[in-house]
Amino acid sequence: MIPGMPGDSQVYLNGEFTRVDEAKISVLDRGFIFGDGIYEVVPVYHGKPFRMTEHMNRLDRSLQALRIPSPKSREQWLELVNELIRRSATPSCVVYLQVTRGVYKREHAFPTTEITPTVFGMTTEFTPPTAEQRERGIRVISIPDERWLHCEIKSVSLLGNVLARQQAAEAGVDEVIQFRDGFMTEGSSSNFWVVSAGKLLAPPKDNLILEGIRYGFMAELAEETGVPFEARRITQDEVASADEILVTSATKEVLPVLQLNGKAVGNGRPGPVYAKLRAAYDARIAAL
């Protein structure tokens, strides 16, 4: 049995669906040996994948960055996602997709002969944030960003993110906000947003952050709701004095950050910009 997962859960591996406890890969898979692969996490509401086109665009960008040939067409990816959803026990879930370069002898350079990428997919349970969680918000601490310089690739090489998330766990908070050279980057598995004088601020889309699917989505919602938006470098002092701080991810959706380094953010309550964006976010989900 695999801790935390029912043994009869269905997963997809290289063209076949099988029980999770029966799925096997080679010990020489480059994803296992080197973390040489990419992944996507797609939230599903009422049986429908959310922002699927944007997820596929990012998957393509990550594959291209690692020079891994895409093993499926757009239509085939959508067929796989829909079949995983169909086999899921609940209409609301998260679809996880992973592609590695494939199986080859252990050598750091890319294989000199053509190999077949390994494709894996599964679903996990997804419970959107409750009304109580939305009101309570999350607590975070700030830490230095010590990861590599290609965070724009959604790579399965996540040790830096794991170590960052562990700092949050050991501090008894929900997440970390990372800073590189005095400027905000992102969390261990989420994007952060700052509200100052009614304006929504985000770090620029560059190699220092993973462009979350909610990055473009939040910009859309800001335009819909009349919230001014700007992408630029944000200093640690600006974060510390922010009127509001928001966090976004596939599973957190959008939530307010109400405590930073043990101190209240703003007045310690969810703010008006969050309320506008949250309502618009919910309307988009309801329209699926």
Catalytic-residue membership of 205: no
pTM for the whole thing?
0.95
For residue 166 the two structure tokens come to 């562990």
Q: Does the residue 200 lie in any domain?
A: yes
Q: What pLDDT is stored for residue 5 in this prediction?
A: 65
Instruction: Work out how many domains the chain is built from and give that number.
Output: 2
Q: Does the residue 5 lie in any domain?
A: no
Name the catalytic one among 24, 105, 154, 205: 154
**How far separated are the first and last CA of the chain, in Å rounded?**
36
- Residue 109: C-alpha distances to residues 25, 43, 66, 175 (Å): 21, 34, 12, 35
Which CATH number fits the domain that encloses residue 216? 3.20.10.10
Per-residue pLDDT of 195-247, as tens digits, reads 999 999 999 999 999 999 999 999 999 999 999 999 999 999 999 999 999 99
What is the extent of the structural domain holding 68? Answer: 10-125
Per-residue pLDDT of 3-49, as tens digits, reads 666 656 789 999 999 999 999 999 999 999 999 999 999 999 999 99
Rounded Cα gap, residues 200 and 219, in angstroms: 9
Statement to judge: residues 172 and 244 lie in one domain: yes
Per-residue pLDDT of 95-151, as tens digits, reads 999 999 999 999 999 999 999 999 999 999 999 999 999 999 999 999 999 999 999
Per-residue pLDDT at 50 exceeds 70: yes
Statement to judge: residues 143 and 280 lie in one domain: yes
Statement to judge: residues 147 and 280 lie in one domain: yes
Statement to judge: residues 90 and 189 lie in one domain: no
- Residue 19: C-alpha distances to residues 89, 148, 230 (Å): 14, 35, 46
Distant-in-sequence, close-in-space partners of 114: CB < 8 Å, separation ≥ 6: none
Closest CA to 261 of 206, 191, 179: 179
